[in-house]
Amino acid sequence: MKVVVIGCTHAGTAAILNLRKMNPEAEVTVFERNDNISFLSCGIALYVGGVVKDPKGLFYSSPEKLKELNVDTKMKHEVKNVDIEGKKIHVVNLENGNEFDETFDKLIITSGSWPIIPPIEGIDLNNILLCKNYNHSNEIIERAKNSQKIVVVGAGYIGVELVEAFRDNGKEVVLVDAEERILSKYFDKEFTDVAEESFKQRGIMLATGEKVLKFEGNNGNVTKVITDKNEYEADMVIMCVGFLPSTSLFKGQLEMLPNGAIKVDEYMRTSNKDVMAAGDCCSVFYNPLQKKVYIPLATNAVRMGTLAGINLFENKIRHIGTQGTSGIKIYENNMAATGLTEESAKEEGIEVESVIAIDNYRPEFMPTYEKVTLKVIYDKNRRVILGAQLTSKIDLTQSINTLSVCIQNKMTIEELAFVDFFFQPHYNKPWNFLNLAGLNALK
């Protein structure tokens, strides 16, 4: 049985490892256009900021490890054409230009995503960079050495983390986003206000509610970012406006979402029974909305890749969906979120209510204690929990994983009030702050 894998970051690596474990006799070939695999892009800001000194730690696998598993690992090979019905792909070797065809019995698509590059005037100027992979991170670090005024476009997780890293390295930083708040996809205003204040206190310019109209340059290098409201001097710009699935090779051959994400079932099988897909290239079932959406997260990718490898030859373990759970540290603020925000729920036309619990996470008789703020969003009629957000100066972010499970299992806000959590003064109170949110919602 001949298996071809296209792409080898998180999902691809997970698929190969599990496929090999379940089917040691399968003939497996992987094609990857880069010279590395399994790079943790969530660590780019830590690498850029100097927190991570050795980038080797940002890789959890390698081409050599795959070869040890008897996987034919073809690095710097780009797949140029795919004929799914004919079970054939056309490949070019990027090092020597040789082109050839490869056949397959089963195909695993883990082609990932690519940063959105908006058609803005001047975007081709030098020092306007993307931020996605290992090569990008090295280029950002190198060019930042000779840059003092840096503009980051896009206030999602990557943009926000980069801004902090640049500022800590003494750069003048502007963060631009068309939305009125940073991180608006993940947090409601009560939480983004806290994060924005931390940035402002450190001299970071927040240009939210501003749309980039064009870039100006001198001698081919960017010098200015012009928005619909202001102009900002810049000798380097990082574009972080989001990602789109890299699936153009499969259009017209597999069912997709409108944005090009490949649709998969609960076993990671596409509309073709011999083709699996996983990770940033495909849809994922989002439990809060009970539908397939696009959520490019490494956590989703490794789970989906694992299932693609396990289920390739027969349906064994189904995917139980995601809540899009995530976390971030912004200076002293430990923040995490799961499921819908109040704002996103209303945009979906869902009638929701929310409750906020603010308490010290452990008893006041302890030598130290810190305030935690928790918000829980729930369906007004069914009372089912749909989302939650948390922030504290002490790391309590793991609690959001508990609320992710609550959403997964369709728990109500009343049930949250009486869930059994342990009490020990070093760690919490008799009424855990998660319970407190449920209690505050009782009517």
Among 71, 12, 30, 100, which Cα is nearest to 279's? 12
Among 401, 392, 374, which Cα is nearest to 333's? 392
* Residue 8 a catalytic site member: no
Structure tokens at 272: 């073709």
Task: Annotate 182-226 with DSSP letters as a single string.
Answer: TTTTT--HHHHHHHHHHHHHTT-EEEET--EEEEEEETTEEEEEE
- The distance between the two most distant Cα atoms of the chain, rounded to a whole number of Å, is 72
Distance between CA atoms of residues 156 and 181, nearest Å: 10
Distance between CA atoms of residues 9 and 22, nearest Å: 20
Cβ–Cβ < 8 Å for 338, 350? no
* Residue 42 a catalytic site member: yes
Does residue 99 sit in helix, strand or coil? strand
Considering the candidates 8, 10, 136, 406, report the single residue annotated as catalytic. Answer: 10
Q: Which residues make Cβ contacts (< 8 Å) with residue 305, sequence separation at least 6?
A: 10, 11, 12, 13, 14, 15, 18, 110, 278, 279
Which positions are annotated as active-site residues? 10, 42
